[in-house]
Amino acid sequence: MTGIIWKAAVTIVALYGVVILSAYVMQRRLTYFPDTQRITPASVNLPTVQEHTLNTPDGERVLVWYGRAQPGNPTLLYFHGNAGSFEFRQERIRRYMARGIGMYMMTYRGFGGSTGVPSERSNVADARLAYDSLVAEGVRPDDIIVYGESLGSGIAVQLAAEKPVGGLILDAPYTSLVDVAETVYPYLPARWLMTDRYETMKYIGRVHTPLLVMQGELDEVVPISMGRAVFAAANEPKTLKTFPGAGHSDHWNFGSYDAAYAWLDAWKARSLPRQDSATTDGAASLHLPPPPK
């Protein structure tokens, strides 16, 4: 009997080892769920949006959809979630642009016609390239609001921590992707395995710009406790909007567009507090210009 128990234990350990090894090898397939199809803005009735290509230093092509802001309005530098691509977010582009807000949405490598394979390192590097390209289009850093949706929140925080921007919106932010993985796969040693970690809490304290955090209180993917923790660790000025009854990707049905519009209106009116003093960690201080006449 002892021999049978020993063999069973060895088999279980071996199978668990296979599961762990498979999770390590397949981790990016468990993180990114791209829609690889390339579509045009015109095909989804966005005639004023242009497709641009970012040519990366390592030879990849990353696609961007760009709709220019109307005078006196900011541009959202938008980093989306871990699934789909542009088509899935066409309504968000349409709604913000209808209010005069510019949209500069970058999709990730392997998504929506972009070449290459996504990773944290490449996504953050491409985000820097997108920022520089938007500035080269003539958009002032003070008029750029970085928007991070779910997975994109970890990219947005890293960018806002090192580049001068006018504001930051985090939609369902997590403390780190490792923390999310531990809630989804509690049987795996995710903290040991994961390469793409997106450690938001490591960077949020370096951000010194007006911040809006939005999240559904019934978020089944990123627990609301993570969004609250990110908000608590952030510097002022900051605003938290949560939506009872909303989950991870449906808070638009519970008023989050209106919350974002109100925050953006306050931003445009310069009624959000300024970051007037020099900041730490090498981040640029933010001096908002007077409102347009």
User: Tell me, what CATH number does 191's domain have?
Assistant: 3.40.50.1820
Q: In this structure, what token pair is assigned to residue 215?
A: 């999240």
Sign of CA dihedral 168, 169, 175, 176: negative
Distances (CA, A) of 221 to 33, 70, 183, 225: 14, 35, 9, 11
Residue 149 lies in a domain: yes
**205 or 289, which is more confident?**
205
Residue 288 lies in a domain: no
For the residues 250-277, what does the mean pLDDT come to?
A: 83
Tokens of residue 228, six digits: 């609250």
Rg (CA), the chain: 20
Q: Is the pLDDT of residue 186 over 70?
A: no
Contact 127, 155 (CB under 8 A): yes
- Residues 139 and 141: their CA atoms lie apart, in Å, by 7
Question: Could you give the number of structural domains in the chain?
Answer: 1
The confidence band for 6, taking pLDDT boundaries of 50, 70 and 90, is low
Q: Which of 146, 61, 144 is nearest to 107 (CA)?
A: 61
Q: Are 103 and 247 in contact (CB under 8 A)?
A: no
For residues 43-56, average pLDDT: 97
Judged against a pLDDT cut of 70, whether residue 56 lies above it is answered with yes
In a domain, 220, yes or no: yes
Domain that holds residue 226: 32-268
In a domain, residue 25? The reply is no
Residue 22 counted as domain residue: no
- Give me the pLDDT at residue 21, please: 47
Please report whether residue 205 resides in a domain: yes
pLDDT of residue 256 exceeding 70? yes
CB 259 within 8 A of CB 215: no
Query: Residue 181 — very low, low, confident or very high, per pLDDT cuts 50/70/90?
Result: confident
Asked if residue 209 is part of any domain, the answer here is: yes
CA distance readout (Å), 43 to 39, 53, 65, 102, 256: 7, 18, 13, 19, 27
Integer Cα distance of 98 and 16 in angstroms: 52
24 located within any domain: no
Beta-bridged to residue 103, according to DSSP, are 67, 76
Q: In what order do the strands lie in the sheet with 75-79?
A: 50-55, 61-67, 102-106, 75-79, 144-149, 167-171, 211-216, 238-243
**Helix (H), strand (E) at residue 270:** none
Given a cut of 70, is residue 10 above it in pLDDT?
Answer: no
